[in-house]
Structure formats: C-alpha cells, structure tokens
Structure 1
Amino acid sequence: MDAEYKAIDIDATGAEAVATAFENQVAYCRSNGADITACVCEGVYGLLETSRGGMMMERVRRWAGPPLADALPLRVAGGLHALHLSGEEPDLRPLYTGKRVSDVTELLADVIERHEAVLMPWLDTPPQTNEIGRSANFIAAMLWLAERGLPATFAPFEIGSSAGANLMLRRFAYDLGGVRVGKRNPVVELAPEWRGSPPPDREIRLRRSIGCDIAPIDLTDPAEQARLKAYVWPEFTERLMRIDRVIASAMESPPGLVQADAADFVEAQLAEPRREGETQVLMHSVIWQYLPDDKKARITAAMEAAGAKATKDAPLAWIAVEANRDTHKHECRVRYWPGGEQEVQLTNAHPHGAWIEWVAP
C-alpha cells in the first residue's frame, strides 16, 4: 500500500472519511519510523471493503463520528496492541516482533473475530498518548520565555493531561542541544536529537504542576497502566521503559491530576490570584484537535482576557505542542502576556519527542 497523507476536513464523516483516516495513519506512522503500527493499520484498512471482522469492524465501517478527529485508527491499534501485550493471542506475536507475516489482513480478521468482546470497548474512548518526550518542548519554551524577561519561576497548569505524566516534568532532566536542565538524579533523562541552534541557556524553576483530563488515567492502577502502554507504538521500546519509570515515581507521589472539563479548568485556574515573580503558564500537547470548537473558543477567550490583565511581574504564557494539519508536523507555539500576544513558533518536533528542530526567531 503506497499510503499518502491526504488533506481532509477533520470533521468529515462517512465511509470515505474512515478509509482516508486509516490511509493517513499508515502514512503518518511510516514517516515517523513506526512500521509495525503502520502494518497493523494497513491490515485493518484492508478489512474495510470486506465483510470480515465481525461487529467490531462493522462499527468501524459505519463510524458515526468524524474518524480523523476521533483518532479511530489509533483506537483500533491500541486495542490490538493491548491484546498482544496481555499474551492472550499468540498469533499476534510475529506481527508485533517485526517478523514477516504473509497476510496481515487475514490474520487481523481472525484475531478480531475471536476477541470481539475484548476489543470492542477500545472503540469507546479516545487514545491516551501521554508521551513525556513532548515535555522537552515545554522546557525549551520556558527557557525562551525566561530569555524574553519573564520571571524564570514557572507555575504550569495543563489540559488533556491523560495520566498526568507530563505534570511530573520537574522530576526529569533534559539535554536540549547541550543545554542541560533539571534534576541531578532524575526519574528520566530526555535528550532528543537536537536540530538547529540550542535554546537559551537560562536557569529556570518549576512549581508543582497541576492538570486535568475529562477521563484521567490513574497511574497507580495496574489496569490503567496496561491501557496507557497499549497506546505506545511497539517499535519504541525506550518509551515503554520510560513509562515504567514514570509509573514507579507516580506510585510514590501521584501527579496533581483532577477530572474536569478543559475549559472549566482553565477558567478556574485563571480566576486564582497570580503570584508576583512567577509566570503562570498553560501547557498542552496533542489535545487541541480533540476539543470541540466551543471549548477552544472559551479557552482562548479566557486566556486573552487574563492576558490583558497580566503584568510584567505576574505574566501569563501559553505553550502548545500540537499537530499542524497543513504541514503534517508537530509544532511548539507560544504566546505570552504582556508584550508577546502574537503566537510564535519555536520548534518543529517528532510527535513522541525523538527529535526537536529549533526554529525560534
């Protein structure tokens, strides 16, 4: 299958939109070095025009919502990966260990039909890709903000926190193009391949982060841990090892995560008195595309209203690491108040933090 990323309305529905969502996912995975996940998605794509796959595939074919916005291919892929990780389906082992499988579509048809009851619930909720590699962008952005003269003590709050792994960013250490930030004995050290100039070398401090998710994952719950791992692409074993370390840290001290609507949470955080000498910062990664337009509008309006009242000694910033649907790249973009109300792109980035390209002006 020569999959190519096709431009599509993210809110498009129907059979053609379903097929395009899977084709785009195959192209996206291949471009990011995830050949096994691409193979899985391609195998499921091959089932779309057949009658195989039982009620689960029938639901996929007749998907009621927008399959691209709903990340439908990743829901299916997550369920199949979870089934493999459980050890309940040995026939999947060759596929997930990178061995040649003569007919992936036929294999997946059989597996899906045998395990329909286990796999169906994976269609009910969006993926939870709580990748801590993205936090390197947050830290690089804070270095840039400190260079701009904002207070170098940051008080982050996050929406779409999933399991809250990125709320633990002050427990990590970072090597960002030779600029080192963070703990001496970190839970995890992140050293993405750095492209371009390094970020500013500044000393920053982080307050304890707080965050929300509409359906948070409890990192201390073994079942939820397994669910989170299922959404890690199997090619990236380092990511699985990082999650294990983050889980161990969360067992000792859980992240500051609450269940809440994203817009309600932002409005509540901004209503709290802001401390002088600190930069309050909203951060989020790969969540914006899943929010309804009215929620996005409320968050934007709340940030701009709060920004209008921000002062030099108590500023406000907004760091977003999200996919650009036009370029098919992930980007880190920043706004801050007062003085930098216009959005500035700082990086292009691998979706899971493998590399970062610094493009800041």
Structure 2
Amino acid sequence: MADEQTNRAAFRKQEQYCITMDAPITARICAGLAESLDRETRTGARALDWPGDPTADALPLRTVGGLHALDLSGKDTELSRLFAGAVTDPAEVIHILRASFAAHDDALCPWLDGPPQTNEPGRSAGLMVGMIEIVRRFGQPIELLEIGSSAGLNLLMDRYRFDLGGTLAGPADSPVTIRPEWRGSPPPALPVGFASTRGVDVQPIDATDPAAAERLRAYVWADNPERLGRLTAGIEMQRAAPVQLEDGDAADWLDARLAEPQADGVTRVLMHSVVWQYLGAERQARITAAMEAAGAKATRARPLGWVRFEPDRGLNPRQEIWVRSWPGGGDFVKLAHSQAHGAWVEMF
C-alpha cells in the first residue's frame, strides 16, 4: 500500500547515499525532491503514491534521471543551474524543482515507468583486479562471460587501458583509460589477454542507439563529469566495433555457454557487477550450481573462474570484489572494496 512518508523518506535515504559517495549535487537534488514533490503534477503524484518499495524500485534515481535528461537537453536553464552546482540554497532548490515539474510534467512522468539503466565502465577497474588474480592462478587468455551486461560497456574491458595504483593493463593506445583513486597495494603487474568477451542481459541496451545513449547519460550523476566522458567514449568504441551481447535469461545462457567446448590453455571466467541481487533466489541457485558442476570438471588446462563486483552485504554503500576458481575448489576470496561507480578501489 502506498505511503507518502515512506516514499519521501526514500529520497532522503538516497540523499545520504549520495553524500557518502561524494555526490553533493545529486544529494542536494534528492533532498529537494523529498520536500518539493506534490500532487499538482502527474509525476509528483505518482512518486508520492508509489505502490511498491521506493528504494528497491529506485524511485529517487528514476526521478533524478528524468530531471538530468531535461538538464542535458538544455530546455530548462534554471534546472541546469541546479545540476551545475550553482544553486545551494534549499529553498531555491525546492522552487526550481517545482517549476520544472510544472513546466515539463509530460516529459518527466515517463521516466518513472522503468528502472534506471546504468552501465558504469568505471566498475571495470575492480573487475580487472579479479581478472589479474585469475591470471595469477591459471594464466591467460581469458574467455569472458558476463551476465547482466546491460549495454555491454564492461565487455569492452579487453579494449580499455587501466592504471591500478601504478599497475598498467590493457592497450596503451586505448581511447579510454580507467584510473581510480587507489588505496592499498596495487595488484601484481601481469599481462591480461582475452580470447573473447561475450555477455547477456534480460533487456540488453543498444548503446549505439541515440535514444538509449541519451538514457544512459541521464543516469550518470552530474557530480561525475569524468563518468559522462568515459561513457560517451565507450559508446563510440562500440560504434567502431560492437560487442557480443545477447538477449536472454542469465541462468539459461550460462548453462549453454558452460556446455560449449573449452580450448586448452584458455581460462573461462564468469563475471558480473551489481546484478546478483536482481536475479532472485532461484536463478542465483541455478547459476551457483552450474558453476560448481562445471568447476568439478575443470582442469589446469581448462580452468574456470568467477569474478563478482557486488554490494557489501552490510550497511556500507560500497562494492566488494570476490574471486573463486577451479580446479582447487575453495570458497570465494574477497580481494578489494570499491566505490559503487569505481571512483576508488581499496585492496586488502
């Protein structure tokens, strides 16, 4: 049952997440939305009467995404001042937001229809930490399988350049260099080569489609212009050479990929980032069982790895990088923490 106070509180909770993640502009907008939403517009009424769990449904991010798309369109100069960080007075923030909803209700309301579409290339830094560990155990090249690929931007990790605390990986002439703030010791300097990269998503996004690209850009927080530049460059890389991204169920697709022949000397690796929580218990169990069954048949000549970049199960708004591999069995080993968008990585 809809509860207005719960729905307003979700925007305040998102404000706190944004503060923790050093995103003061987006935090300020979320705080303003908690106070400015009303039933004078369809968008405001839908948000206040949201029937589901507003946090699980990412209601605040849906709303901010619509506003950011309006900002990027250049159609609301006052709103653009807010997204540029030029407005800090809470009363003025509320006034601008109410005016924007009143003037652009028809454009903003559809942004509540679907979940945010975020595909963050910066997460590839944490994922590359996992790949280096897999290479340390078994060597290269890697046959990369990604579930929950979204727009496939992390499938470009074989084409990105990485600077991981001074450890360099990837092509030196890449148009994208991913260089997070580094905490702790860097990973070992090992070459990481890829035999192939393939992915699946239940609703894959064609990042080369202008409308899809606009939607992806809208969900990049205004506090992070470097993320927007990286996203744009990644889209151009896909236009130059598309990734192998399929439409399908993650568990079904993985079953099919694991059943394919694996070449000697190639390490097969399952990878995913910020997707596990959305799969549901049944798919999680199927994927785990499939990996363990395939792992039981793995050999030194045909090894299997699993690299996860998923949320901390505690209260911290950060991600954890875990690795598991076969042969050798054993449980997952946690290698590092990361900011959700890859702004920093902290090795253990």
Could you tell me which of 247, 252, 261 is aligned with 1:264?
A: 252
**1:358 and 2:347 aligned:** yes
Give % identity: 46
Superposition deviation, residue 345 in structure 1: 0.8
Aligned to 1:314: 302
Kept in 2: contact 1:175–1:181 (CA 8 A): yes
Superposition deviation, residue 188 in structure 1: 0.6
Kept in 1: contact 2:3–2:49 (CA 8 A): yes
Task: Give the Cα separation in 2 of the matches to 1:284 and 1:199.
Answer: 20
Superposition deviation, residue 173 in structure 1: 0.9
Could you tell me which of 53, 56, 59 is aligned with 1:72?
A: 59
Question: In structure 2, the residue corresponding to 1:199 is in which secondary structure?
Answer: coil
Could you tell me which of 193, 214, 228 is aligned with 1:226?
A: 214
Task: Give the Cα separation in 2 of the matches to 1:65 and 1:116.
Answer: 22
Give matches, 1:141-180, under 5 Å: 141-148=130-137, 150-180=138-168
Task: Give the Cα separation in 2 of the matches to 1:52 and 1:36.
Answer: 25
Superposition deviation, residue 15 in structure 1: 4.6
Superposition deviation, residue 348 in structure 1: 0.7
TM-score (norm 1): 0.90
Could you tell me which of 103, 108, 111 is aligned with 2:92?
A: 103
Query: Over aligned residue pairs, what C-alpha RMSD do you find?
Result: 1.9
Superposition deviation, residue 13 in structure 1: 7.9
Question: In structure 2, the residue corresponding to 1:158 is in which secondary structure?
Answer: strand
Query: Compared with structure 1, are the counterparts of its residues 192 and 73 closer, same or farther at alpha carbon in structure 2 (3 Å cutoff)?
Result: same
Query: Compared with structure 1, are the counterparts of its residues 287 and 107 closer, same or farther at alpha carbon in structure 2 (3 Å cutoff)?
Result: same
Query: Compared with structure 1, are the counterparts of its residues 19 and 288 closer, same or farther at alpha carbon in structure 2 (3 Å cutoff)?
Result: farther
TM-score (norm 2): 0.93
Task: Give the Cα separation in 2 of the matches to 1:139 and 1:13.
Answer: 42
Give matches, 1:1-16, under 5 Å: 14-15=3-4
Task: Give the Cα separation in 2 of the matches to 1:87 and 1:171.
Answer: 33
Query: Compared with structure 1, are the counterparts of its residues 121 and 268 closer, same or farther at alpha carbon in structure 2 (3 Å cutoff)?
Result: farther
**1:333 and 2:322 aligned:** yes
**1:131 and 2:112 aligned:** no
Structure 2: give runs of 5+ residues left out of the alignment: none
Residue identity opposite 1:143 in structure 2 = I
Structure 1: give runs of 5+ residues left out of the alignment: 1-11
Aligned to 1:24: 13
**1:191 and 2:179 aligned:** yes
Query: Compared with structure 1, are the counterparts of its residues 212 and 17 closer, same or farther at alpha carbon in structure 2 (3 Å cutoff)?
Result: farther
Aligned length: 345
Superposition deviation, residue 16 in structure 1: 5.2
Give matches, 1:40-51, under 5 Å: 40-47=29-36, 51=38
Could you tell me which of 257, 261, 271 is aligned with 1:283?
A: 271
Kept in 2: contact 1:53–1:109 (CA 8 A): no
